[in-house]
Amino acid sequence: MRDAFIETLCELAAQDPRVVLITGDLGYGVLTKFAERFPNQFVNAGVAEQNMTSIAAGMALSGWRVYTYSIANFPTLRCLEQVRNDICYHDCDVTIVAVGGGFSYGQLGMSHFATEDLAIMRALPNMRVVAPTEKWEAQDLTRELAKTKGPAYLRIDKDTGGVARREGERAVLGKARRVREGADATIIATGAILREALIASERLAAQGVQCRIEAMHTIKPLDEDAIVAAARETGGIVTLEEHSRIGGLKGAVAETLLTHGARVGFFRSVALDDQYPTIVGDQSYLRARYGMDAAAVEAAVMSALSTGAPLTKMAQSA
């Protein structure tokens, strides 16, 4: 996804000389193309993310359209005060680009995991929160964010969901993308972990269970209509995120259901338990070890249905 983002940012920088990219001293192989093509629109702030963020806010207040770039935990947690006080409070045109959402940097351990960022970023006023599921979604949403003013958080994964763009399809900020139809349950996923939902849905279909899948690439503003429709039109909802089960997608969906008084047949969450992961390994290995893979999604759906949530007529006759 990061290559897709940089490609799109190069397009934007060519069209608008106010676009500037600031990095926290990383991504040379990825950012070289941008730095060489737009040397006057590129800044390396060094390993000083707080400074990077304050520089970004100052430049934005001077008329620049700024993008900061670092591994997900650093431009969020390390400099949260600067994000809150400098960027969000002043409603600055700064997009915080976080490469490596979730367990993308799984071999580097907990210090490089991004499993609290969605909860924290969505709590900040003025902040938009986006976690694409595909490379092409990352491109579309980067362009969408460029059209709107104010702070944004763009969480980029190393993995992809694996669903090609359908003819005429595009990702729209604040609008969920229907990936699969089904009425027994809805799986709402954010980020590239959507891949696990797709695998689980195939396994469930073989057992006669048909799942709707919604790619919720925008956490804020949230597509509340898609969530309420899922509650009314399907047997229940399972949320899937490579993030803590506290405050992220699960919290956003639950808040929406309660706010709208939407009755849901069941509600389950597949996410990281309230803990610090202590194991290292690649992304797929960690998803399995911490219960966020296709098997966990399948188990969540089947467990919910076994408690009495009705199957559709199609599933019952399968």
Give the start-to-end residue ranges of the domains of the chain. Answer: 2-156, 177-317
pLDDT (tens digit, 9 = 90+) per residue, 184-199? Answer: 999 999 999 999 999 9
Q: How far apart are the two ends of the chain, measured CA to CA in Å?
A: 38
Question: CATH topology of 2-156 equal to that of 177-317?
Answer: yes
CATH number listed for the domain at residues 177-317: 3.40.50.920
How far, CA to CA in Å, does 17 sit from each of 9, 20, 64, 68, 94? 12, 8, 8, 16, 15
Angle (nearest 5°) at CA 20 between 24 and 173: 95
Question: Which string of DSSP letters, residue by residue, matches 162-226?
Answer: --PPPTT---BTTB-EEEE--SSEEEEE-STTHHHHHHHHHHHHTTT--EEEEE--EEES--HHH
As a whole number, the mean pLDDT across the chain is 94
Query: So what's the pLDDT on residue 29?
Result: 82
Query: So what's the pLDDT on residue 308?
Result: 59
pLDDT (tens digit, 9 = 90+) per residue, 194-238? Answer: 999 999 999 999 999 999 999 999 999 999 999 999 999 999 999
pLDDT (tens digit, 9 = 90+) per residue, 22-61? Answer: 999 986 788 999 999 999 999 999 999 999 999 999 999 9
- Beta carbons of 312 and 210 less than 8 angstroms apart: yes
CATH fold of the domain at 2-156? Rossmann fold (3.40.50)
